[in-house]
Each structure stands twice: as structure tokens, then as C-alpha cells.
Structure 1
């Protein structure tokens, strides 16, 4: 399964995918997931991680306040089309994808979110969970639709919240789980595909727990 990863930051999720699916670990024809490209809306460490692994990269710059969102999505659509991926993975990508992109990849774009959706959608999920006083939060892998963190859920894993937690401490604990969950969800999709029944998404014979 060919995948393009979109990222905007340090690329730790991307690195987890590279580490797990790199051909060196599987052989060039045996890896279930092939990262064929990595894109961003800015120069960032994620691009350097990709380049270090020999993965092609691209940037579609987005300048808040000056970039036309529809035109930007068209440019992103064109860039993705050059790779013709089976799946697009938004891994810490800080842009909302518009209908121009969603039309080409309906049901084939997945995202990670640092909360147990539908609770605490949006960019401040970790802080919102702490402010609300929940005792458990977690990580969600879901399909992207036209809303914000509203797409069908593929996999979730819980993370405890402690009384002494700060946002940064809790977020790091979630990220550890998030990396494992994304890797194993992608592997399950590559092996079994996704079935959709309305809002319910299912990976047949889904195995989203780390292998022993």
C-alpha cells in the first residue's frame, strides 16, 4: 500500500512510520506500507526526517492571511496526484483539507488526534481534556471528512490522566500511544482494508495492538 504522509512539525509520527515500514526491516517488496512521499505546508523537521530516509518530499506553502485556501488545496491536490497514493496520512499536519483534496481521496485520508473523539475535537484537545477534568483521554485514528475531527473512527486507545499532569506531560504520554496506534492501524489497513457502513468504519480482522 502506497502512502503519502503530510506533516507540519517535528515529524515524530512520521519517524515511527519510517522506523516500522522501512524496506530495510522488510525487504523492498515485502513492506506492507510504502511511504512514497512526504509533504508539508512549511519547511519543518519532518521533511528532513523523510530526506534522511530517502523519501521524496514536497512543500505547498501556506501563509495565513495571504494564501487563498481553495487555491492552496488545488495545489496540494496536484502535488498528491503526482504520487497517486493509495492512502494519505495526516500526521501532525496543521491544515484543514478542503473539498478539492477530499474529492479525490474520499475514505482514503486518515488523521491522528490526541483525544478520544468525539470528545475534545480541535487544536487544543489535550488542554481541553485537562481543563474538563477527565480521568481518561487517549488517541484516535480516524478518517478525514469535511468536518473538523468528525470522520469515522478507525481505532482508539486510552491514556490515563493524572492529578499532577501538565499539558506538555500528558501530551507526551499520548504521543507515545499515538505512534504505536498509527503504525499498527496502517499495517491493519494494508493487510485487510477498510469497510464503511454509514459512520461506522471497520478494519476486518483489525489488529491495532502492538504485536508481541
Structure 2
């Protein structure tokens, strides 16, 4: 471990948080997960943090005078720990401008759909109900919009005729656990550059080598 300091924001079970922890502890990502901040005192992500000896801070929004004050405090906690990348791992709140301004192009999120299609809540349900033939997941930078930031990596997942919302969501999740650590690795290696709406990636990465996207026939 070492190098990049990562701060994670999560509200729930934190399975993507776990995927990043595993990639760091396995040496795939040269970084340290320094802190977890959660808005839910019963979030299972807290147990994951404790198991891996990661500092955990519980910050409940209603205990602050405003949304801006809440996110200013989060930004202060992250900056005081030297965090260089903020990872949203199922953080169920729209990030406030004070945090975005403090970590511009250094906050990333994963969304369970192929953006810009089906932003917002329940991307898998939206895709299933719409009847698309290909869905997937997207890692993107966070800006002031709803899932509108520049796209870093996407993985395509075919929608089967017999899929339910639950089966599609479960299959998409397996690819979330692949592309999120990959995006963090690329960031930690300084290989990502944001140019307007586009993200440029230096050199080959897992998607180029066929390690992320499944064959569309399967």
C-alpha cells in the first residue's frame, strides 16, 4: 500500500467499497484506503471498514445546519487526511457543491447503467422496463449534475430474454466490481486526463485487453 490516499463515501452494504479494498490489499492498486464516511450509522460498510482497520466517520446530515455546511465538513475531514481521490460507493445523496469544488475531477462514482442512458435511481430497473438489449455500468467523475460527469470506463452487459430486474442487476454488479477498481488504479497511476467532456486514458488498460467486457453473445 501507499501512494494515493482514498476516501470512501457509502450509505449501505458497500460491496464496491469491498472490491476496492481487495484490489488495494492485493496490490493491484498502489494506494491506501484512509477513511470511510457514512451518513447511515447502520450501514454494513462500517463493518467492512472495521474488519480492514479503516477509520470510519459517521456524519448524519440532520445534525448540520444546511446541506452546504454538511458537505463542507466532509471536505474538511477528507482534506485533513490527505485524501487525493473520493470514491462514492453507494452514497445515496447528491453531492453538494462545497465537496465538488474542493475535489474537482477527484470524485468518482459508479452507476448501474450505460450513461447517459438511465441516470438517477434504479438504473437497472429503468433499463429492464425500457426493453434495451444491452445495459451495463459506468464509472464517471462527479459534477454538479445527476450522473452527468465525464465518463471514465463502461462495461456492457447483454440483457437476456429471461432476465428479471434482479438477475440483470446481479450480473451488472459483477462488472461494477471489475471496472471500479480499474478506474481507481488508472487514477492512482496518473493515467487519466479530463479534456472537457472526454476522459483520455494513457496506455492500455483492462478493457483494451478484454478483461472487463463479456462477449456480447453470452
Alignment TM-score, normalising by the size of structure 1 = 0.90
1:172-200 deviation line (CA, Å, top 9, x unaligned): 11110001101112112212332121101
What corresponds to 1:70 in structure 2? 68
SS at match of 2:17: helix
**What secondary structure sits across from 1:192 in the alignment?**
coil
Q: 1: CA distance between counterparts of 2:206 and 2:83?
A: 22
Q: Name the counterpart of 1:86.
A: 84
Secondary structure, in 3 states, of the residue corresponding to 1:49? helix
Aligned partner of 2:32 in structure 1 is 34
CA contact (8 A) 1:185 1:207 kept: no
Residue 162 of structure 1 aligns to a residue whose secondary structure is coil
Query: Number of residue pairs matched?
Result: 205
Q: Deviations over 1:55-86 (max 9, x none)?
A: 1111111359x973222212222222222211
Q: Considering only aligned residues, what root-mean-square deviation do their CA atoms show, in Å? A: 1.9
User: Quick one: structure 1 residues 51 and 163, their matched pair in 2 at CA, closer, same or farther if it must change by over 3 Å?
Assistant: same
Q: What SS does structure 1 have at the residue aligned with 2:61?
A: coil
Q: Which runs of at least 4 in structure 1 moved beyond 4 Å after TM superposition? A: none
Aligned counterpart in structure 2 of residue 21 of structure 1, from 21, 24, 30: 24
Q: TM-score, normalised by structure 2?
A: 0.88
Whole-angstrom CA distance in 2 between matches of 1:172 and 1:71: 36
Alignment of 1:104-183 (within 5 A): 104-183=102-181
Structure 2 runs not aligned, ≥5 long: 213-218
Residue 168 of structure 1 aligns to a residue whose secondary structure is helix
